[in-house]
Structure 1
Amino acid sequence: MAAVLTAVATTTGCVESGRTVHPDAVQAAAVCPVEPDPSITTTARIAWQAIPNGDLAVKDLRMLETCMPNADITWSKFDSGGDVVQAFGAGSVDLGLVGSSPAVRAVSPPLDIDLRVVWLQDVIGAAESLVVRDESITSVEDLAGRTVAVPFGSTAHYSLLSALRRAGVDRQTELINLAPDKMLAAWQRGEVDAAWVWDPTLSELQADGTVILTSAETAEAGQPTFDMGAATADFVEQNPEFMRMWTATQDSAARRLAAGDDAAIESLAVQLGLSPDIVRKQTEGLTYLSAQEQAEQYFDGTLGRVLADTAEFLVDAREIDTTAPAEVYQQMPYAEAIEEVAGR
């Protein structure tokens, strides 16, 4: 109960500018980081998640709506990457935030959704972590015979699977599929021994739990994870001007977050319903890359290889039955807009 009261206390105050920490409250001044283009009339259905990255700043500051005043843009909230993949499969979203492992699952059999990765929202580090209830659990090996909660199909699920397999206890540990907003109650009832999740749930569980492993460590062991902007191939091909403008806004937001910009942190705080101090701490567990950095480090062929490796891992972990042909993963990264924005 103390954790719940603490969470409530942090979400009912005000941010520094006087805006309440609620996304429907007084809105921030609209911002377009480049010259607006009223000729763009794209209809875009965007999926967003409550994860502290540039997407929330773009949404909060109404960058897309200001940069493309004649576009028809709608935002729909989802709880996990697995849910976003389902929406892609149903044809109900065009573009949205999805983790690297859900994206790979989406393009692999039997789903075979034709997606493009259009942006890396962040490289996941300590922002996603494994937290345990019992102090006697000090290593992943100690999870044998225990129950661990994780949102199935998420990047956290991928990191958990990789850690369990590396420790040799993947077949001795029970995993249960819980959305982040359902975990706290299960934790308090003693139904789970551990959870791999992100904030704000991660911070709530840490009130009486202990982090024993982070996604930064699984990345160092060879299984990096990312939060990505993904779009259907048809949408990307039919809307290149929209994609260039969308990428320019994401680049601006990423640069501001990487620099620790107060206004960008405030935007995330409003969208997440948390205090700026908590959000700033959360952002320290993620790495935000500019368009130029992404072009040089990932959209040069590297990302396609990482996605193909992720698919092979998911097959070995029996999370998907088989991989798609290698060229499917190699063609996922859409570099054109990123390279153009990087060259400005």
Structure 2
Amino acid sequence: MKLNNAIAMAGVTLLVSLPSVRPAQAEQNVVNIAYQLTPSPWVARVADKSFETQTGYTINWRQFNTGAEIISAMASGSIDISVLGSSPLAVAATAGLDIKLFWILEDIASAEALYVRNDSGINKPADLAGKKLAVPFASTSHYQLMYALEQWGIDGQTTVLNLDPNKAAAAWERKDVDGAFIWGAAMARLKLDGKPLVTSGEICQMGRCTFEGMVATTSFAEKNSEFMRQFVGIINAANQDYKSNRSEWGAESDNVKLISNLFGADAETVAEDISNYRYPSLSEQISCSWLGCAAEGGGAKTLKLTADFLKSQGKIGTVLDDYSGFVTDDYLERAE
């Protein structure tokens, strides 16, 4: 999930402007959950109603297009749990929304990457000097691209253009740009005559990670702790099944067909998209790599670093000293 210029500002504005409404969780055993169209093993369990069957809860699944829309819905009280990327989550936390990141759905890994044209003459980072690159500003890709350019010592030596994924792919096809850092279907267009110079996962190893996480309002999580435990258990089981039984997750598999039918997407594309992400294990979730270790944990650090970046881009006005109050591993420790 990405955060462009307008979305970043809208997320903050809507947080403070929306009226308060009665929380959905006031009705016992009902939960409203927001998701976006990111293929992932857990979505197969959404499609086959495993969450309802195993928890006994009535679940209202609501699809959203942007992180800003989800932030607004959570602020209004109409959403209890949501999928949220690290950039919009940093915006929401900075604005003071009382939420908790309780599961890392996906380490973005190779699902986002900086592709360069085969005919661009770019074979190593130093070759980017003097070239034109496209990326959606204030997105997770922009955050990682600017860090990578700095680490490679060529910050300021490239022309970086603010283009959304589809416009970036179109510019690529016109040969108006030499490279683009994007994702999804647009990135698939780049693969036809381009190659990845660096992936999101590789930049994570350099020191700047991005993720898509599962977030809950604090009030819902505290009142429904057993549901939370069961919820992450179902997600974890789906991830483990994917890792252990890859043959059951190909384009012709029932699991992928469930997701492709739910999303209205091509099964081959869904299977490939799932393979581009990395799914942290339960032990990794609890560790300092992600949700553990308070302010020193990877989740809290990523939110802080992302907020620093968004402030430098003029998308938020302040940055908190510590984001660990928006991260918890409480429900994971009881999910084993």
TM bucket by the smaller chain? 0.7 to 0.9
Tell me what 1:267 maps to: 258
For 1:86 and 1:166, the matched residues in 2 are separated by: 35
Tell me what 1:255 maps to: 240
- Contact preservation (8 Å) 2:299, 2:327: no
Tell me what 1:102 maps to: 88
TM-aligned CA distance change 1:284 to 1:73, over 3 Å: same
Alignment of 1:287 with 2:278, yes or no, is yes
- Contact preservation (8 Å) 1:100, 1:227: yes
Identity of aligned residues (%): 29
- Contact preservation (8 Å) 1:42, 1:242: no
One-letter code of the match for 2:255? Answer: A
Q: Which has the higher helix share?
A: 2
Match of 1:122 among 106, 109, 132: 106
TM-aligned CA distance change 1:306 to 1:132, over 3 Å: same
One-letter code of the match for 2:319? Answer: T
Question: Any idea what the Cα deviations from partners look like across 1:290-339, whole Å, max 9, x if unmatched?
Answer: 3344224533316753244332464267144432132xx11222222211
In the TM superposition, 1:20-169 aligns within 5 A as 41-44=29-32, 46-78=33-65, 80-81=66-67, 84-85=70-71, 87-89=73-75, 92-108=78-94, 111-133=95-117, 134-144=119-129, 146-169=131-154
Number of residue pairs matched?
296
Q: Secondary structure at the match of 2:141?
A: helix
For 1:341 and 1:205, the matched residues in 2 are separated by: 40
One-letter code of the match for 1:282? Answer: D
Tell me what 2:335 maps to: 341
One-letter code of the match for 2:63? Answer: S
TM-aligned CA distance change 1:145 to 1:135, over 3 Å: closer
Give the superposition deviation at 1:218. Answer: 0.4
Give the superposition deviation at 1:69. Answer: 4.8
Tell me what 1:323 maps to: 319
The gaps in structure 2 that reach 5 residues or longer are 1-26
Question: Any idea what the Cα deviations from partners look like across 1:140-183, whole Å, max 9, x if unmatched?
Answer: 444455543334443323222221222344444323141x4554
For 2:221 and 2:30, the matched residues in 1 are separated by: 11
Structure 1 residues 192-201 or 207-216, which shifts more? 192-201
Structure 1 residues 49-58 or 147-156, which shifts more? 147-156
Give the superposition deviation at 1:246. Answer: 1.9
The gaps in structure 1 that reach 5 residues or longer are 1-38
One-letter code of the match for 1:228? Answer: G
Note the aligned Cα RMSD (angstroms): 3.1
For 1:84 and 1:154, the matched residues in 2 are separated by: 16
For 1:151 and 1:48, the matched residues in 2 are separated by: 21
One-letter code of the match for 1:118? Answer: F
Give the superposition deviation at 1:233. Answer: 2.2
Tell me what 1:239 maps to: 224
TM-aligned CA distance change 1:211 to 1:312, over 3 Å: closer
TM norm structure 2? 0.75
